[in-house]
Amino acid sequence: MTDLFAARSQMAVSLAFHIIFAVVGIGMPALMVIAEWRWLRQPAGRRDPVLLELAKRWAKGTAIMFAVGAVSGTVLSFELGLLWPVFMEHAGGVIGMPFSLEGLAFFTEAIFLGIYLYAWKRISPTAHLAAGIVVAVSGALSGAFVVCANAWMNAPAGFRVVDGQVTDVNPVAAMFNPAAATEVLHMTIAAFVATGFAVAGVHAFALLRGTPHRAFHRAALQIALIVGVPAALLQPLSGDLSARHVATQQPMKLAAMEGHLKTGPAALVIGGWPDADRLEHVGAIEIPGAISLLLHGDRTAVVQGLDAVPVSDRPPVVVVHLAFQIMIACGTALALLALYTLVRQWRRVRGIGSPLPDDRRFLKAVVLAAPLGFIALEAGWTVTEVGRQPWIVQGVLRTADALTPMPGLMVPFIGFTLLYLGLAVAVVFLLRRQILKTGVHGGLPIGLTGEMPLPTATGSYPVFDEA
């Protein structure tokens, strides 16, 4: 394994691990805020304790994922400087603004998450809910700022290179580069899709097993679907916007994504295996002119293929095309399930059919769909990063030229991979211990020991039994 491949593999493992926690940091606060808001809007004295218990449990899950995400994010920041010093030399002064703002959003999220976790008895219910909203907003902004920096790598703007030196830096133009809007939109919606359906799958599985705490899991399933279903229906639209941008800014990435090997009218390629050497597909289904029609409204419109550039400038078409196909397949499945959910709910409102939590076929479908959002997410980031190769900054700096001259990069790759495996085990243990392993007390989940007491005179929340 070459040092370049080891360094790229280390970044791939780090990003694949960290992105899970970043996404949960965007999606999970929305769940806990919705649960608490639905609890607060009920008449005092008749509030459903299940909703408050959900808010507390999801807050714990958010805290665990936030803590591990902070560790993996710190590792990533060191890797950028240690593995890619030339990239940081050229890009650091250009994209410092979104990274600085990400730090501000990160610390804001941390502060208000602490308030949300530990101030149940110390502030009013309205102020507590507001703290949760700040957590949700700052988490989304944190992700958006990082994506702006990544978008700059795909569509660099806000600077000039004169005699090999970066000059005339405009940090605002760099941050709001041509790719920023579509990437931020696509990534943020993906976070809600992945988190919503993953949480829904957990509670659907519990309902299928015949849990005695059906009210708890039914409420959780409903809130998770409220987040996941609209996002899954919007995601194909944001994906179309992203693809149109890629076609303009990164035609070789689009060619690799769609498996468009030869310049000319672009077909929609489904399945198969692209042969990068002969520029032919093996075993694929092709719909002639479909991509040209989607991009330009004309089935005969010419679209650049991989043959338009030298071999040294082509991205790895097999990896990018297969990852893109996986992303599309997962996204399509989730969108269809979301549409089915809306149709079933509409029929239920009209008095037709049973409630969704009582439909075992629906619950099984949700369980099967639970990992699809995260699979699509990982595949999508593979398309974004690998599809840009051989450039670390599109058209400006090659990945090989940004690598550190330090030898032996296989050693840190192995070491950091073991670190992430250890963190993964710790996360699974903590989530099972603190969130998923529901005990029984008085016939209800822990903390639901009868009627919900009224808030105290100061308007703070009562204490739950966390034994």
How far is 375 from 426, CA to CA, in rounded Å? 21
The pLDDT-based confidence of 268 (bands split at 50, 70, 90) is confident
Which helix (DSSP H) or strand (DSSP E) does residue 243 occupy? helix 214-249
Return the pLDDT at 356: 73
Mean pLDDT, to the nearest integer, of 345-359? 73
Return the pLDDT at 145: 92
Return the pLDDT at 449: 34
How far is 154 from 387, CA to CA, in rounded Å? 10
**How much is the pTM?**
0.86
Residue 399, pLDDT above cutoff 60: yes
Range from 246-250, 261-265, 333-337, 427-431 that averages highest in pLDDT: 333-337
CB atoms within 10 A of CB 97: 20
Which of the 8 DSSP states describes residue 371? T
Mean pLDDT, to the nearest integer, of 15-35? 89
Return the pLDDT at 211: 67
pLDDT in tens, 184-236: 999 999 999 999 999 999 888 888 887 677 788 888 888 999 999 999 999 99
Task: Give every CB contact of residue 144 below 8 A, 6+ residues apart in sequence.
Answer: 184, 187, 188
Residue 374, pLDDT above cutoff 90: yes
Range from 9-13, 169-173, 329-333 that averages highest in pLDDT: 329-333
Return the pLDDT at 116: 92
- The Cα angle at residue 431 between residues 426 and 434, in degrees rounded to 5: 115
How high does pLDDT run on average in the chain?
A: 83
Residue 249, pLDDT above cutoff 80: yes
| Residue whose tokens read 């030869």 | 262
Q: Where are the alpha helices (DSSP H) in 48-175?
A: 49-83, 85-91, 96-118, 125-154, 171-175
Residue 462, pLDDT above cutoff 60: no
pLDDT in tens, 423-443: 788 777 777 766 555 443 333
Specify whether the backbone of 264 is left (phi greater than 0), alpha (psi in -120 to 50) or beta. left
The pLDDT-based confidence of 460 (bands split at 50, 70, 90) is very low
pLDDT in tens, 89-145: 888 788 888 888 988 998 999 999 999 989 888 888 889 999 999 999 999 999 999
Percent of the chain whose pLDDT exceeds 70: 91
Percent of the chain whose pLDDT exceeds 90: 28
Return the pLDDT at 5: 86
Return the pLDDT at 434: 60
Q: Using an 8 Å Cβ cutoff, are 19 and 378 in contact?
A: yes
Q: Each residue of 368-406: b (16+ CB within 10 Å) or e?
A: ebbebbbebbbbbbbbbbbbbbebbbbeebbbbebbeee
How far is 259 from 261, CA to CA, in rounded Å? 6
Q: Using an 8 Å Cβ cutoff, are 23 and 190 in contact?
A: yes
How far from 455 is each of 47, 56, 201, 327, 462, CA to CA, in Å? Answer: 11, 16, 33, 47, 6
Return the pLDDT at 329: 92
Q: Each residue of 295-319: b (16+ CB within 10 Å) or e?
A: bbeebebebbbbeeeeeeebbebee
How far is 96 from 309, CA to CA, in rounded Å? 32
pLDDT in tens, 70-86: 888 888 888 888 888 88
What φ, ψ does residue 261 adopt, rounded to 5°?
-90, -30
CA 203 to chain centre: 20
The pLDDT-based confidence of 3 (bands split at 50, 70, 90) is confident
pLDDT in tens, 141-183: 999 999 999 999 999 988 888 877 788 888 899 899 999 999 9
| Residue whose tokens read 């240690």 | 82
Return the pLDDT at 131: 93
My answer on whether omega of the bond before 390 falls inside 30° of 0, hence cis, is yes
CB atoms within 10 A of CB 209: 8
Burial of 163 (0-12, 13-18, 19+ CB in 10 A): exposed
How far is 370 from 363, CA to CA, in rounded Å? 11
How far is 191 from 28, CA to CA, in rounded Å? 9
User: Could you give the dihedral angle defined by the CA atoms of residues 207, 236, 188 and 120, in that order, rounded to the nearest 10 degrees?
Assistant: -30
